[in-house]
Amino acid sequence: MSELVKRYGLGITTAMVLVTAFWLIVMVVLPALVMVEYSFHTNVPVTKRGGPEDYYTLDNYLSLVRGTDWSTWTFPNDFRVFLRTIWGAALVTLLSLVVCYPVAWYVAKLAKPQRAAMLLLLLVIPFWVNEILRTFAWYIILAYQGPLNAALLGIGILEKPVRWLSGSGGVLIGMVYAFLLFMMFPLINAIETLDMNQVEAAEDLGAPWWQIHRRIVIPHAKPGIAVGCIMVFVLAASSYIVPSLLGSPGTRWFTETIYVWFFEGQNWPRGSAYAFILLGLCVGFIMLMMRIFRVGLADIAK
Amino acid sequence: MTTRTSASDLILRLYLAIFFIYLLLPLAVMGIATFNTSKFPTVTPWLGTTTQWFGALMADNQMWVGLTNSVIVGIAVILISVPIGVAAAMLLDGVHRRAKSMLYAVMVSPLLTPGVIIGISTLVFWDRLGVKGGLHLSVIGQSSFIIAYVMLMVSARLQRFDRTLEEAALDLGGTHMQVFRRILFPYLKPAVFAGAVLAFFQSFENYNTTLFTRGTDVTLTVYIASKVRTGLTPAVNALALILIAITIAGAIAYEISRRQAAAEAAAAKKRAAEADTMAELKIA
Amino acid sequence: MSRDVELDHVTMRFGDFTAVNDVSLHIKAGEFFSFLGPSGCGKTTILRMISGFMDPTGGAIRIGGQDMRGIGPNKRPTALIFQNLALFPMMSVADNIAFGLEMRGVDKAARRKRAEELLDLIALPGSGDKRIDELSGGQKQRVAIARALAVEPQVMLLDEPLSALDLKLRQHMRAELRAIQRRTGLTFIYITHDQGEALTMSDRVAVMSRGRIEQVGPSASIYDAPETPFVATFVGENNVFRGKVTAAADGLARVETPAGVLLGRNARGMSVGSDALIFVRPERMRLDPADAGDNRVTRPVAHLDFEGSFANLVLSAPEGSPRPILVQLANDGRLGSLQPGAERTVGFAPADGLVLPAGELAKD
Ligand SMILES: Nc1ncnc2c1ncn2[C@@H]1O[C@H](COP(=O)(O)OP(=O)(O)O)[C@@H](O)[C@H]1O
Ligand SMILES: [Mg+2]
């Protein structure tokens, strides 16, 4: 602290500390704490707050799983949505990784510099386009009378049009499309630093291409894979716009459930509890990835 | 170079082609659908070419309300996040190692927090203080994580700052405030400017945080989302097309200015080298 | 007294590490004073304490009799030339030079005028509107000096300002710096690890090692009469023989070394029985000494480094010493006879040998 004062002087240091404290305390930490505290309350109207009906309870959390029957494998509605969200986000993450990896490999190592620069530009353009618009583009394509059905009917793959937007397929395709680039750039950055001599040495020793990737490229790209997976999973699990545009009532996402509790059910404590559960899911996934891939926070926030 | 078989090479190339089609075709379709007379935005069937949807968009009052709100929110977010982001970066730069990693973790945590949760916690917290949802709350919610972006951008530049410049200015008699205004801030300016642009963009396209904090106010993203669900016409495509065009134009302008700056720096370097040889000749 | 700089038992600790250890000095107004020492010995730390970027953990610094503790760098009558110059890259040359005046609220026209005067002084007239990155290394150097002069400091502090320049320019700038100091009459406190710089420019030099002052004095006395083994070996080349004093009389001491008994000046008045080092400059060594009173050592030739007008003869290290014997020979046209492997006798007059108490030597 004294060093800061020596460097910036007392006035600037004080202003700096106060302003940063305002951000971190009033805008980040306190809201999170209040949300968590809120989630342990019963849902009572404002007028009854602090009254006898307003007490601490775990009910908002327990209600997520209440009614689960593991023997018959039946789950209450919200819990089913929660599980679907985890499963869906994981699937989106895996798909993004598989789809991006060959492209990242090509752009980072195989393409000549000029071509690589061009491809990077092509990759960046959709990245700049608003998430809603990227999703909207797929809404048009996947529409019942849209170009995808028309094309597939045209070349005879389909006999009759498919309702893409009423299953989970549309949501998954849309999410992979919307978040793919958050996988692509970390992957490219990580693969770029690989020394190609290693690959050539392995080829010299007669390793087939898939062994080269399994034993050399993928281990080297681990930090990139971790960062990409974290970004995509968190974005997918907490996405609202994609499921709400490309999904149907049968494919509701956990964020939609939270929204409904807040603004249709008028049950803020329940919504807060679910939001905290979603946060826990994301933090859990981040920690898991950081543990598996041994990366730090500084690698992620780039 | 690598001696891969031509078969796997061919497969890779084919895959790349499909990938880039997958990446860009949807945007193209969305753009092209703007010019179809069909009331529902599509390219199949093509019912006729028109520019009427731009007119329809311009005539849509709600769109203008959303746009205005988005711009207001974006500017407010800049005004909040830039000063705080700069202060946070300076603070982070000045504290010692142990405190630094702790502080850093807290500062980047909003970037890893889902936007809906930031929206919800902002809503619940301010509701406790008696503040209801609305654009002002969206500004606060968005700022809470956009500050972190600005902080990271400014930090990156600050790390390359030569601290002896600050010391030299102080040694020449400047007050701390003068040193900040004349030395540190001008140095940080490009990062501050880039941070401001980024902040605006992030705010402009934000949906998740805005959704929970907006009360009954409508921003452009909220307008688009509601349009898609109820009352979708190619007017939305027209809007999308305009936004994409603006973004790409901005990006190109940025790239050009970056190249110019690089060329200028190279030229100055060359002149300095020339001055060096001249000086040597003079001494010899 | 007015502009004198006094260091009074100054100590600086960083945690457990003592970077500057109990340094006391009185630097007189108008003096060109150098700190000379290997890198890491605490020179920059001393300069930063004088300029006010840190306060000593012990002792006091006074300028013009006034204790400087707690006074910031912006309030001290000093100006520091940084090791990397620290010119402001976003400002023009003139704005750099006038920066200190701008900080003091001097108006624009007056600033411009003063900048032009200083540009004349440093022989860069008309360069005010140039950008910093358009200047050559030596020009930058001079701009940094002008910038410091502009605030009319009483004391100029220079932290190895020439280290970034190439050899020729460095020598040129030495003369220029000295000339500027003479012309302005300011106190210059100069730090360097380059003995050539310190010896040629300074009125007085303080040689430092590990945070301590080893010796203070005019250049000639540092070279001719080193007071410690460190100074003897850090400043210029010196041959070293290690041994014990067996007799001391008439200002001379007899030292018994594994290479033989050697006689030298007993400058520190050492008594019989103490561990001693005896130092001889290579240029004082003689090949095949003729005088009967001379010290003699016989060793095989290791190699001969021919330099043109002179040559350095290297004999393999004497017993008990890790360092080879150096002998500087004038080129008399007969150097060809010195073939590696041949045993040769070299020697020196007792007056050219210096006997000092055993102690730490400078690293080669
Ligand atoms: N702020 C500091 N904290 C800890 N150690 C320092 C600090 N500044 C200098 N030192 C140490 O003090 C010693 C002397 O440093 P310095 O004065 O820069 O040496 P010189 O300029 O003679 O090369 C070095 O070992 C250096 O590592
Ligand atoms: Mg130094």
In which band, very low, low, confident or very high, does the pLDDT at A75 lie, cut at 50, 70 and 90? confident
Of residues C82 and B274, the one with the higher pLDDT is C82
> Looking at residue C1, what is its pLDDT?
46
Using an 8 Å CB-CB cutoff, list chain C residues near B275. 134-136, 139
Q: What integer is the mean pLDDT of A102-121?
A: 89
Q: Are residues B162 and B22 in the same domain?
A: no
Q: Which of B196, B219, B242 is the endpoint of a domain?
A: B219
DSSP 3-state assignment of C355?
strand
- A38 in B contact zone (CB under 8 Å): yes
Q: Which chains, if any, share at least 3 CB pairs under 8 A with chain C?
A: B
> Looking at residue B5, what is its pLDDT?
61
In which band, very low, low, confident or very high, does the pLDDT at B48 lie, cut at 50, 70 and 90? confident
C141 lines ligand 1 (CB under 6 A): no
Q: Indicate if the pLDDT at residue A66 is higher than 70.
A: yes
Tell me the torsion sign for CA atoms C297, C301, C302, C304.
positive
Atom 24 of ligand 1, residue of closest alpha carbon: C40
pLDDT per position as a tens digit, C101-157? 999 999 999 999 999 999 988 888 889 999 998 898 889 989 999 999 999 999 999
Structure token digits, residue C138: 């030596």
Q: Indicate if the pLDDT at residue B74 is higher than 50.
A: yes
> Looking at residue A265, what is its pLDDT?
87
Give buried/exposed letters for B85-109 (b at 16+ CB in 10 A, else e). bbbbbbbbbbbeeeeeeebbeebbb
pLDDT per position as a tens digit, B226-273? 988 887 889 989 999 998 888 888 878 877 887 888 888 888 778 777
DSSP 3-state assignment of C159?
strand
Q: Indicate if the pLDDT at residue B284 is higher than 60.
A: no
Q: CB B88 to CB A19 under 8 A?
A: yes
For A9-67, the DSSP string reads HHHHHHHHHHHHHIIIIIIIIHHHHHHHHHHTB----GGGTTSTT--B-SHHHHHHHTT
Residue type, C316: S
For C223-246, the DSSP string reads HHS-SSHHHHHHSS--EEEEEEEE
DSSP 3-state assignment of C59?
strand
Q: What integer is the mean pLDDT of A32-59?
A: 87
Q: What integer is the mean pLDDT of C185-192?
A: 94
End-to-end CA distance of chain B: 49
Look at strands C5-14 and C17-27 and give their pairing.
Answer: antiparallel
Residues A212 and A202: beta-carbon distance below 8 Å: yes
Helix or strand holding residue C116 (H, E): helix C108-121
> Looking at residue B280, what is its pLDDT?
64
DSSP 3-state assignment of B198?
helix
In which band, very low, low, confident or very high, does the pLDDT at C265 lie, cut at 50, 70 and 90? very high
Tell me the torsion sign for CA atoms B88, B90, B93, B96.
negative
Residues B199 and B146: beta-carbon distance below 8 Å: yes
Using an 8 Å CB-CB cutoff, list chain C residues near B172. 74, 79, 99-100, 103, 147-148, 150-151
pLDDT, averaged across chain C = 91
Look at strands C252-257 and C78-81 and give their pairing.
Answer: unpaired
Ligand 1 centroid, distance to C20 Cα (angstroms) = 9
DSSP bridge partners of A128: none
Which of B165, B172, B178 is the mutation pick for testing C, counting most C CBs within 10 A?
A: B172
pLDDT per position as a tens digit, A254-272? 999 999 999 998 899 999 9
Using an 8 Å CB-CB cutoff, list chain B residues near C80. 167-168, 171
Residues A109 and A224: beta-carbon distance below 8 Å: no
Q: CB A132 to CB B128 under 8 A?
A: no
Of residues A299 and C53, the one with the higher pLDDT is C53
In which band, very low, low, confident or very high, does the pLDDT at C323 lie, cut at 50, 70 and 90? confident
> Looking at residue A143, what is its pLDDT?
86
Give the residue, out of C13, C14, C23, with the most ligand 1 atoms within 8 A of its beta carbon, to mutate for a pocket test: C14
pLDDT per position as a tens digit, A116-157? 888 988 888 887 788 888 899 999 888 888 888 888 888 888
In which band, very low, low, confident or very high, does the pLDDT at C198 lie, cut at 50, 70 and 90? very high
Chain B interface residues facing chain C, Cβ-Cβ under 8 Å?
162, 164-165, 167-175, 178, 182-183, 186-187, 265, 268-269, 271-272, 275-276, 278-280, 283-284
In a domain, B100, yes or no: yes
Atom 12 of ligand 1, residue of closest alpha carbon: C19
Ligand 2 centroid, distance to A99 Cα (angstroms) = 54
Instruction: State how far the Cα of B38 lies from the Cα of B251, in Å rounded to an integer.
Output: 32
C40 lines ligand 1 (CB under 6 A): yes
Q: Are residues B175 and B239 in the same domain?
A: no
ipTM of the complex: 0.87
Instruction: State how far the Cα of A195 lies from the Cα of A109, in Å rounded to an integer.
Output: 10
Delimit the CATH 3.40.50.300 region(s) of chain C.
5-224
Q: Are residues B38 and B85 in the same domain?
A: no
Instruction: State how far the Cα of B66 lies from the Cα of B225, in Å rounded to an integer.
Output: 11
Q: Name the class of domain C5-224.
A: alpha beta
Distance from CA of A71 to the nearest CA of B (A): 34
Domain count of chain B?
2
CATH number of the domain at B130, please. 1.10.3720.10
In a domain, B183, yes or no: yes
> Looking at residue A197, what is its pLDDT?
87
Q: What integer is the mean pLDDT of B8-27?
A: 90
In a domain, B59, yes or no: no
> Looking at residue A301, what is its pLDDT?
58
Of residues A71 and A139, the one with the higher pLDDT is A139
Ligand 1 centroid, distance to C193 Cα (angstroms) = 14
Q: What integer is the mean pLDDT of C267-287?
A: 92
Q: What integer is the mean pLDDT of B25-29?
A: 90
> Looking at residue B1, what is its pLDDT?
44
Instruction: State how far the Cα of A302 lies from the Cα of A186, in Å rounded to an integer.
Output: 9
> Looking at residue B281, what is its pLDDT?
67
The matching CATH number, chosen from 3.40.50.12140, 2.60.40.10, 2.40.50.100, 2.10.109.10, for C229-357 is 2.40.50.100
Structure token digits, residue C192: 């360097």
pLDDT per position as a tens digit, B185-204? 999 999 999 999 999 999 99
Residue among A172, C205, C86, A240 nearest B115 (CA): A240
In a domain, B56, yes or no: no
pLDDT per position as a tens digit, A167-202? 788 899 999 999 999 999 999 999 999 988 888 888
Instruction: State how far the Cα of B81 lies from the Cα of A293, in Å rounded to an integer.
Output: 33
Residue with tokens 């000093």: C78
Delimit the CATH 2.40.50.100 region(s) of chain C.
229-357
Range of the domain at B121: 64-219
| Chain B, nearest residue to A248 by Cα | B229
Q: Are residues B45 and B104 in the same domain?
A: no
Q: Please provide the CATH number assigned to the domain covering A46-300.
A: 1.10.3720.10
Tell me the torsion sign for CA atoms B39, B40, B46, B49.
positive
Instruction: State how far the Cα of C195 lies from the Cα of C69, in Å rounded to an integer.
Output: 31
Instruction: State how far the Cα of C63 lies from the Cα of B284, in Å rounded to an integer.
Output: 41
Q: Are residues B72 and B191 in the same domain?
A: yes
For chain A, the DSSP string reads -HHHHHHHHHHHHHHHHHHHHIIIIIIIIHHHHHHHHHHTB----GGGTTSTT--B-SHHHHHHHTT-BTTTTB--HHHHHHHHHHHHHHHHHHHHHHHHHHHHHIIIIIS-HHHHHHHHHHHHHHHHS-HHHHHHHHHHHHSTTSHHHHHHHHTTS-SS---GGGSHHHHHHHHHHHHHHHHHHHHHHHHHTS-HHHHHHHHHTT--HHHHIIIIIHHHHHHHHHHHHHHHHHHHHT--HHHHHH--GGG--HHHHHHIIIIIS--HHHHHHHHHHHHHHHHHHHHHHHHHHT--HHHH--
Instruction: State how far the Cα of B146 lies from the Cα of B107, in Å rounded to an integer.
Output: 11
In a domain, B247, yes or no: yes
> Looking at residue A302, what is its pLDDT?
53
Q: Are residues B31 and B143 in the same domain?
A: no
In a domain, B224, yes or no: no
Of residues C61 and C172, the one with the higher pLDDT is C61
Alpha helices in C263-337 (DSSP H): none
Residues C158 and C78: beta-carbon distance below 8 Å: no
Helix or strand holding residue C306 (H, E): strand C295-306
Q: Are residues B85 and B175 in the same domain?
A: yes
C42 lines ligand 1 (CB under 6 A): yes
